[in-house]
Structure 1
Amino acid sequence: MNRFERVLSWQGFPISAAKTKLEQIKIALKSNAQDYTETSKWSIFNYHKSHNSHYRQLLNNQPISCWEDIPIMTKQDLQVSLEQRLSKDFSAKSVYVNKTSGSSGHPFIFAKDKAAHALTWAHIISLYQQHDIDMSQSYEARFYGIPKDFISNKKERLKDVFAHRFRFDIFDLSDDKLEDFLKEFKRKPFELINGYTSSIVMFAKFLQSKQISLKAVCPSLKACITTSEMLFDSDRKLLEDVLGVTIINEYGASELDVIAFENTEGEWQINNKTLLVEVVDDHHKVLPNGEEGHLVVTSLYNKAHPFIRYKIGDVGVISKKSTAEHQILKKLTGRTNQFAILPSGKRIPALSFYYVTKSVIEDSGDVKEIKVIQETEAEFKIEYVSENELTDRQKSKITKAIETYLEPNLKVSFKKFTTLERSKSGKLKQFISKLNQHA
């Protein structure tokens, strides 16, 4: 067991048992993938039906004669107190608790039982290994956000030390900061870049403007994993040319697991080990492979918290070439992002607003939806759906968070709605810029 796995084990996550379980799952899929999926999905459904009172309320005594009879879950269904959503015999102290990024505009707190969380990590370790990446040994350049408050910041930094990674501050992607990034690559033997697509692309554009190949500067570099946002073909080519390493595209959700991960054949392979991924139409009917629809995901092993036929908010297509054992995500619509351009000239990834909205996510579930609109370089409007108006204290907290993560002297206004406007695809974007400038 390496250092990273030992830390997981010390924290109460049974990683050794999870790795053994994952190998058993792989054998079962190879033997009869269809049987494995059928058995697993009904097992987790029946478990939550028996052990989770909140889920029984969502079922509302509807007759279930086939899988498609099971109602689709959304994030709105889960915006009640976490204690109300946990299954019998689980408590907030006995499970892994976290918050979603809220990139779709529906932030909420979720939980995984410790065995399920360990299985997620066992799966991620396995995915990385196929690309010759050892999570405990490969030094990672991490292009992710980080909390600004002292305690949370130090906790994340400590995690980074144990996970053998160095985190870049993506809240400021000005040329001066990107120059500092480059200096770190010259000094440190990074093997892997991992992080938000838009931030890595911004860094690559900076390198391109200077005609620098990152592989030449950092010869130890092996691969780059892009996540959380769409990776367009033009951006992939830019990254391949400028970084000089293999680009691996990841699609996942923190409340679930990695949903699809690019394999060594260049396919976006769907995770059918710990998840069931379906594509449904507007009426929630399952579509055949090759047709575009809403992605619906079932977490097969999370007993603490139900994610059964959970509508994640993205639209996609499962390839016609897919089999029960080997499923391929052909197309994904969503996860695009923008940058906020500030009066100082700083360029801030839109996902930074995750750290702003976190400041008002309360376990009461009062704030249902949030959207941030940049009206001008210095003016931002916060639109939200809530049972009650935000208090002066809450507004002050958001304003202070914006000053902390962005910069001072920005004008922030608030407006409460019963519903928020959505895109033509039905997706609620958490950040919209009305500026004509584009990063």
Structure 2
Amino acid sequence: MIKKIIYILGQNHRNPTLKTNYEFLKKSEKWPLEKLEEYQLKKLQKLLNTAYNHSEFYRLKYDELKVDINDIKSLEDLKKIPVTTKNDLINFTDKIQTNLKFKKTFLATTSGSSGESLRFFRDEHADSFNRASIERGYSWFGIKPWERNGYFWGFNFSASKQIKNKFLDFLQNRFRIFSYEEKALKSFIKKSKKAKYIHGYSSMIYHTAVLINKLNLSKPKNIKLIKGTSEKVFDSYKPEIKKAFGIDIISEYGATESGIIAFECKNGNMHLNMEGVVVEQVDDEILVTNLQMLSFPIIRYKLGDYISLAPRDKKCSCGKEHLILEEVTGRIGENVYGFKNTYPSLYFYYIFKNLSKKEGVFLNYQVIQNKEGNLVFLIEGKINIDVEKKLINEIVKYFKKDINFEIKQQSNFVYNKGKLKNFISKINE
């Protein structure tokens, strides 16, 4: 009870509108699809009006392109609005930020794979709505946010940041891990026995599961939810995690700029957070519009992921009619250089996806490119000759003779601030 009181007091101080937003989301999750889209259109029109009248960037851009926001009378009309890129957000941050006055704002910071940092101010309502969206997802699994939880976050901050994080962890009844070392993982596993849920980097959750299974450690029995975020949850992770914890890992998809985009339900479907975002799939790329943030409008934003949306008529047996995100297939813009041609790094996704779907072979991998025409495939664990041949055939299918490659088994992966990237190119560094 004391942990609940501490959490609620902290929540009410930091995010006074969170409770109201959460109550709204619990009601709207029962809405039919048509009502959800009516709500989206209403919020979209308000957002566009705010952006045009209070953001110098959008006003100048729309005037230059002769965009009339009053022409947006349906969600389909959103296509009339120009896209926004990460470079726009970084280069015109101050001009995108609206001149509206808010009682409370929070400084949000993010960095992409290029390392370019974005810093903007998010209004309290948008921040609270985002947190309420996460809490709604937790509620689908019977989780209360103040319950004991473990957090996989693999970057060891400075001493001052660690003190701050320890205080925040105390308020949220949370313990975290920064290291892949066996001693740290064993300590985390021991603490997990009293936890109700664990969340964070999916690769770290996987490695913890591997250790539990390898050493035949006593398994945490009270875990009701395992949530992977910030990284893709690969199919190869799932059997180990299920064996170690007794339940499947689920996915949460979002970004600092966009807020929560989708949350997986108990039936394994990723439901779009339709009350918070509008998602478009254009040439297999995601464009996302944050409907709730008025301090820093995010409109038709090229987030940088390839996605696949399910057909509108696909229904989930959980009863929610929110549209379904079938899959986040990979990152955009990372090129692989052959001797003659250039290829998308998305090829790696298909190579290993084909192995899992067609051959039933699940491999954890990382690909390194140090120079043009050469790739090193790092494979976790040992594989037999038959599996290696199948992998070679898939690689050759996509790159033919334009790339020389080497397969290294039982490899250790390279992590950046605790985060795993499946493709690392050192050509453009």
TM-score of the two chains, using structure 2 as the length reference: 0.69
8 Å contact kept, 2:33–2:322: no
1:3 lines up with 2:6 in the alignment: yes
8 Å contact kept, 1:139–1:164: yes
C-alpha spacing 1:26/1:191, structure 2 compared with 1 (3 Å)? closer
1:257 shift after superposition = 1.9
What is the aligned partner in structure 2 of residue 178 from structure 1? 185
Percent identity, aligned pairs only? 28
Higher RCO, Cα 8 Å, sep 6+: 1
| Secondary structure of the corresponding residue to residue 108 of structure 1 | strand
Within 2, Cα distance between the matches of 1:36 and 1:313? Answer: 26
Q: What are the within-5 Å matches in structure 2 for residues 34-183 of structure 1? A: 34-64=37-67, 65=71, 66-80=77-91, 82-90=93-101, 94-103=104-113, 105-136=115-146, 138-146=147-155, 148-169=157-178, 172-183=179-190
What is the aligned partner in structure 2 of residue 203 from structure 1? 208
| Secondary structure of the corresponding residue to residue 334 of structure 1 | strand
1:313 lines up with 2:304 in the alignment: yes
What is the aligned partner in structure 2 of residue 422 from structure 1? none
What is the aligned partner in structure 2 of residue 258 from structure 1? 260
What is the aligned partner in structure 2 of residue 297 from structure 1? 288
Q: Which runs of 4+ in 1 moved over 6 A?
A: 373-376
8 Å contact kept, 2:150–2:175: yes
Which letter does structure 2 place at the counterpart of 1:126? R
Within 2, Cα distance between the matches of 1:104 and 1:13? Answer: 35
What is the aligned partner in structure 2 of residue 354 from structure 1? none
Q: Structure 1, unaligned stretches of length 5 or more?
A: 282-292, 337-372, 377-403, 407-428, 435-439
| Secondary structure of the corresponding residue to residue 39 of structure 2 | helix
8 Å contact kept, 1:105–1:430: no
Write out per-residue CA displacement over residues 4-57 of structure 1, whole angstroms, 9 at most, x where no aligned residue: 333132125422332344356446656623322222222211211111112223
| Secondary structure of the corresponding residue to residue 241 of structure 1 | helix
More displaced 10-residue stretch of structure 1: 27-36 or 260-269: 27-36
Over the residues paired in the alignment, what is the CA RMSD in angstroms? 3.0
Within 1, Cα distance between the matches of 2:172 and 2:369? Answer: 36
Which letter does structure 2 place at the counterpart of 1:192? Y
What is the aligned partner in structure 2 of residue 331 from structure 1? 327
8 Å contact kept, 1:18–1:122: yes
| Secondary structure of the corresponding residue to residue 66 of structure 2 | coil
Q: Structure 2, unaligned stretches of length 5 or more?
A: 72-76, 333-367, 372-415
Aligned length: 329
What is the aligned partner in structure 2 of residue 420 from structure 1? none
1:430 shift after superposition = 10
8 Å contact kept, 2:28–2:36: no
1:194 lines up with 2:199 in the alignment: yes
What is the aligned partner in structure 2 of residue 233 from structure 1? 235
Which letter does structure 1 place at the counterpart of 2:214? S
TM-score of the two chains, using structure 1 as the length reference: 0.67
